[in-house]
Amino acid sequence: MSKILYPPMESPLFEGIKETEFSTLISCLAAKVRKYEKNEYVFRNGEHVDSIGLVLIGSVRVMHEDFWGKTMILAHIEKGGVFGEAFSCADVEKLPVSVVAAEPLEVMLINIKRIVNTCGAACSFHTVLIKNMINLLARKNIMLTEKIQHITRRNTREKLLSYLSSQSKSANSHSFSIPFSRQELADYLSVERSAMSSELSKMRNEGILSFDRNRFELLRKEEDFY
Amino acid sequence: MSKILYPPMESPLFEGIKETEFSTLISCLAAKVRKYEKNEYVFRNGEHVDSIGLVLIGSVRVMHEDFWGKTMILAHIEKGGVFGEAFSCADVEKLPVSVVAAEPLEVMLINIKRIVNTCGAACSFHTVLIKNMINLLARKNIMLTEKIQHITRRNTREKLLSYLSSQSKSANSHSFSIPFSRQELADYLSVERSAMSSELSKMRNEGILSFDRNRFELLRKEEDFY
DNA sequence: TAAATTATGTTGGATATACAACAAAAAGGT
DNA sequence: ACCTTTTTGTTGTATATCCAACATAATTTA
């Protein structure tokens, strides 16, 4: 097996595993490295998937196609990111999505059973790997739940307040920066960018918050409204 | 330890574990059974949680409170259901939600480390338990992703079509039943019930679909529209 | 620095949703 | 069967969003 020149050590999947253990790990997992051209399929809708993919170089798009053939981009996963983990861990028969190379791509494919089934042998890192896998799924779970929390709100203002409130909480401060541009925030909250912008302005005028570019500050507590 | 009279064997967490192994399992996991009165807190916002909860009797509500003190019900978990798994598996410091007994409640609390760390000893079921845990997280992940797929659509019609399309796919038929009442479906898709009802009627008139109570049929393919 | 590009804010008209109120149909209880 | 309660469908009006078009500010490139 050719030596992997860019070990994805920085991936959350391999956190806590020593670099010296890495080559043993790769062979124990029977991990394969595959290259794809732009727009080539990595996983195709309807296939059975028993592997997780780890992006080594480039990025992938996770796409969904509905009954009427309308497609939707579900996720864009960059270097170090993992895809297919939910479907392979849940052992779904047919993949309801497709994974496509968004640019020239190199991925590592690992059979999920190799991760989940401890290999009997002396692989001390196997326990770590399982923990990482659980951690990965759990963190994704929390992210998804948070997003749902925001976008289930009825209107643009409430979606914004829900999102900003949670950002404020994790920053442990009324003042915080967000990792999104306006367009990205609008996409994330599933609202119109222009409507969102004007809503932000309105709230600023009403003294609910202030902002400058990506920096926001929440100004009033519930009590103040009454 | 008192014998557990209502072993939660039907819970996905214990799938594949023999009933005879059950008492060993409980003691190996140091599982505790706790009772709560209605509206009593099981987990409180801000606490550190290192256990998952399994509902034995009754049900719980998962609640969230934002910066302005507005609360929102995130989930209602019934008998056999599991809560707190994402936060304990991801090892988050402070719980961002609260879990409250929705009615007289009995839960089993299991320290997550007891599940994830194999206990060295001859617990054959431990591997099964870990697989179940991973499966649980992965399935929840898929459910959340699906929901996001639907509610990110811009308007009521598209949300409905996205949902109905996915139901059609999993039923492997153009004709299928849905597990929701109109109100529940509206809540799930985060739209107004009345607006949804009239949208359904419109689409029926346009020949896109037909329905009778909970039974739906999708009628046209994309091509037909052009 | 100037010019070009991109990001953000603002506005108005067409369209869609929210809300309330009510009608009709279905389900449940006696 | 009857009455009651719940669910579902319909409609009108106030409100909010979408969309396009443009203005302004920030950033990048030459």
- Is A138 in CB contact (< 8 Å) with chain B? yes
Residue A66 clears pLDDT 90, i.e. is over it: no
- In contact, A109 and A34? CB cutoff 8 Å: yes
Is A119 in CB contact (< 8 Å) with chain B?
A: no
Cα(A75)–Cα(A58) distance, rounded to whole angstroms?
14
Phi, psi torsion values for B76, nearest 5 degrees: -125, 115
Residue A225: pLDDT band (50, 70, 90) is very low
Contact B15, B132 (CB under 8 A): yes
Cross-chain CB nearest to A145 (options B131, B144, B218): B144
Is pLDDT of B34 > 90? yes
Rounded to whole angstroms, the maximal C-alpha distance in chain B is 69
Give residue B89's pLDDT band: very low, low, confident or very high (50, 70, 90): very high
Q: Which two tokens stand for residue B175?
A: 């004709």
pLDDT > 80? residue A14: yes
The tens digit of pLDDT for each residue in A76-133 reads: 898 889 999 999 999 999 999 999 998 889 999 999 999 888 766 556 778 888 999 9
Instruction: Kindly tell me if the per-residue pLDDT of B10 is higher than 80.
Output: no
The DSSP string of B191-213 is S-HHHHHHHHHHHHHTTSEEEET
pLDDT band at A213 (very low <50, low <70, confident <90, very high): confident
User: Is A151 in contact with B151 (Cβ distance < 8 A)?
Assistant: yes
Is the Cβ atom of B205 within 7 Å of strand D at any atom?
A: no
- For chain A, what is the mean pLDDT? 88
The strand D neighbours among B residues 154-173, by Cβ under 7 Å, are 154-155
- Give the integer Cα–Cα distance in Å for A102 and A197: 30
Pick the closest to residue A20 from A125, A131, A126 (CA basis).
A125
> Which of A18-22, A103-107, B82-86 has the weakest average pLDDT?
A18-22
Mean pLDDT of chain B: 88
Whether A167 and chain B come into contact, CB under 8 Å, resolves to no
Q: What is the DSSP letter of A2?
A: P
Q: What is the pTM of this model?
A: 0.91
What is the rounded average pLDDT of the residues B143-158?
94
Mean pLDDT across the stretch A169-174? 92
